[in-house]
Chain A
Amino acid sequence: MSLQLLTFIIVGFTFAIYIGIAFWARARSTDEFYVAGGDIHPVANGMATAADWMSAASFISMAGLIAFFGYGGSVFLMGWTGGYVLLALLLAPYLRKHGTFTVPEFISDRYYSKTARVVAVVCLIIASVTYVIGQMKGIGVAFSRFLEVDYDQGLMVGMAIVFIYAVMGGMKGITYTQIAQYVIMIIAYTIPAIFISFMLTGNPIPQIGLGSTMEDGSYLLDKLDQVVTELGFKEYTTNKRLSLFNMFFYTLSLMIGTAGLPHVIMRFFTVPSVKAARSSAGWALVFIAVLYTTAPAVAAMARLNLMTTIDQPTKENNLAYNERPSWFRNWEKTGLLQFEDKNGDGLIEYTGLDNNEMVKVDRDIMVLANPEIAGLPNWVIALVAAGGLAAALSTAAGLLLAISSSISHDLLKGVFRPDISEKDELRASRVAMAGSIAVAGYFGFNPPDFAAGTVALAFGLAASSLFPALMMGIFSKTMNKEGAIAGMLAGIGVTLLYVFQHKGIMFIKSTAFLGSMEPNWFFGIEPNAIGAIGAVVNFLVAYFVSKQYPEIPSKVKNMVEQIRLP
């Protein structure tokens, strides 16, 4: 059976499962499903949160970035897990206690202001749309490979499917679908990792295999360091992402952003108690950690397999272009892998130097290509495709719902048109959803960065705007509305300005008025990592502005005191 046919069958089968579960769960539930969320065990909620959380950036893109950055890729691993500690300790229990259903709603209550709510909605939309752009890149890569078309066509098909998937609506809200998606995703991620770890090191547990020896007795990581440095790349285990200083802020930005992203926070509004909110975050992280501790092994082993497949220690033994394997041919069709025979000898040279002939190796293809490069059976390759699509679709749909609900519920019903009918509210949310897909898809054709990099920008935006406002709302009894509003605007403003000046206004590269060149970076911090600075600006501005304005009403003070008690 051909790989393409097998892929269609497995992808189709998993989609049938999701839809089947959605119907089954929907038939027995009422519109009070969320309120009845009290029935959902913290472990189940944790698993659903993990599926919601792990997107194309985690599944498709992250290991590829680590494969090429080595140690520098650690920022994603720590950043996207450490944020859960902040969430569990600083936000989730208190927001659950207060008991609203959207993040802007909490901001509106705590800062006794509709303006604050509007500002929060705007921040939420900016961060979430940027996040969806990152998903679109991942979706484009996945569809282009499995339909064997170029990236742009793959992206268009992907957009259409996301639209149908998201507009089918409520489906996403059903926790059981997400549990199924988690299971598919994690099987698809770990099975090839176990295979490859066993092939390379004899140890089937990737987390241990990565630290083990290979057949020739040398440690896998030492071998990888040696192979890449011989070809002129930087040493894998010590290669920094620009500088340790930059890595510090990058990690911080991702962590704070994790705790500030509305679609994640919302999940903790649905658990039965404050106590459950605390442990549910822990369970979510357990399920996330299964993938995140496997990813470094996937990354290192994929890199090693890629290098040793193409380039040999003795040049004459390099892979001949005419004899390139089928995975190479297939990825060439997508335009994401490109070879140029610079010296005309028909052999492929892949080095970190000027004589490199692999002119394009898109990082985002590594996870999907990995099982093919390692020569695993076709059903494993097809399974990885299904996992990648599950990851991208579930998160994209979740984000689109967060965006559309904030427009229809917070903006229209909450502020501008309180008398809106339910039907109109629903219609507005569909229009908002279609609009967001179009905007995100448009940027997806010219993504500002790799999927994980684009998503990192979204985290920076959430980190600089929503997290500080939420945290001060709980831990300060004096922060008033003026301070919070000024802080949010200043934080996201600084972050957007920095990103736009280096990556282009609205990510259009030619409008980057300071260029993306490193000498212009603030203390050498790259735009993806600026969110942490934005958050600091937010805190500072909020503090100083709040001093200039009247104290908060005693009613709100009492509310804060109540939030703090379980």
Chain B
Amino acid sequence: MSKDQKYWKENIDLIVKCLSIWFISSYVFSIILVEQLNAIKIGGYKLGFWFAQQGSIYIFVILIFYYAFKMDQIDQRQRPSNK
């Protein structure tokens, strides 16, 4: 595997990881399993409702910065000369 291919594969792996979390927080917790999660309450929030209207948005923000941070690391490791 060439260096470029390896770089691309690491990128894809990271994307898959991040998008899995994206999917779980928005589609699984907030929609598919919302009724089950609503049985749990945090303060006045039902948990499923909280994920749908608050939690998933916070997770999206964290995900993008996490991806940007990890990609910077990969960039530096794999392509140090390429600035």
Contact = CB atoms under 8 A, between A and B. Distances in A.
Q: Do A and B bind each other?
A: yes
Contact of A566 (B52, B60, B79): B79
A221 B48 CA distance: 13
A222 B46 CA distance: 10
Interface centre among B35, B52, B63 (most CB of A within 10 A): B52
A275 B44 contact: no
B82 A289 contact: no
Contacts of B53: 66, 71, 74, 77, 296
A529 to B, nearest CB: 12
B8 to A, nearest CB: 5
B52 A275 contact: no
A148 to B, nearest CB: 34
A89 interface: yes
Contacts of A268: none
A278 B58 contact: no
B58 A89 contact: no
A81 B54 CA distance: 11
Contacts of A429: none
A85 B22 CA distance: 8
Interface string B61-79: 1011101100110010001
Contact of B44 (A85, A210, A248): A210
Contact of B68 (A66, A74, A275, A286): A275
A78 B79 contact: no
A85 B63 contact: yes
Interface centre among B8, B46, B82 (most CB of A within 10 A): B46
Given A89-B18, A565-B79, A566-B75, A78 B67 contact: no
B34 to A, nearest CB: 7
Contacts of B60: 81-82, 84-85, 285, 289
B75 to A, nearest CB: 6
A90 B72 contact: no
B64 A282 contact: yes
A282 B44 contact: no
Contacts of A279: 64-65, 68
Nearest to A277: B68
B32 interface: yes
Contact of B26 (A213, A237, A251, A286): A251
A467 interface: no
B40 interface: no
Given A78-B52, A207-B54, A210-B45, A564 B8 contact: yes
A492 interface: no
A293 B57 CA distance: 7
Interface residues of B, number: 41
Interface string A73-104: 01001100110110011100100000000000
Contact of B57 (A238, A244, A292, A566): A292
Interface residues of A, number: 45
A142 interface: no
Contacts of A281: 64
A237 B27 CA distance: 17
Contact of A71 (B8, B52, B58): B52
A107 B49 CA distance: 40
A213 B30 contact: no
A78 B30 contact: yes
A566 B71 CA distance: 10
Interface string A124-149: 00000000000000000000000000
Contacts of A244: 31-32, 34
Contacts of B52: 71, 74, 77-78
A211 B68 CA distance: 32
A88 B60 CA distance: 11
Nearest to A561: B4
B54 A296 contact: yes
Contact of B71 (A74, A278, A286, A293): A278
Given A78-B26, A89-B15, A238-B38, A84 B7 contact: no
Given A238-B38, A275-B72, A296-B54, A289 B44 contact: no
A251 B27 contact: yes
Given A74-B52, A78-B52, A85-B22, A248 B68 contact: no
A212 interface: yes
Contacts of B72: 275
A224 to B, nearest CB: 10
Nearest to B52: A74
A220 interface: yes
Given A82-B26, A89-B18, A293-B58, A211 B45 contact: yes
Nearest to A70: B49
Nearest to A255: B26
A565 B78 CA distance: 11
Contact of B43 (A74, A82, A219, A289): A219
Given A71-B49, A74-B30, A565-B79, A88 B42 contact: no
Contact of B65 (A82, A220, A282): A282
A221 B32 contact: no
A244 B36 CA distance: 13
B15 to A, nearest CB: 5
A78 B63 contact: no
A71 B76 CA distance: 43
27 contacts: A66-B53, A74-B30, A78-B30, A78-B57, A81-B56, A81-B57, A85-B19, A85-B64, A89-B64, A89-B67, A211-B43, A211-B50, A212-B43, A237-B38, A237-B46, A237-B49, A238-B35, A238-B38, A248-B32, A275-B68, A275-B72, A275-B75, A279-B64, A285-B61, A561-B4, A565-B4, A566-B82
Given A244-B31, A251-B27, 11 more contacts: A81-B60, A221-B44, A222-B44, A247-B31, A248-B32, A275-B68, A285-B61, A289-B57, A293-B58, A564-B4, A565-B4
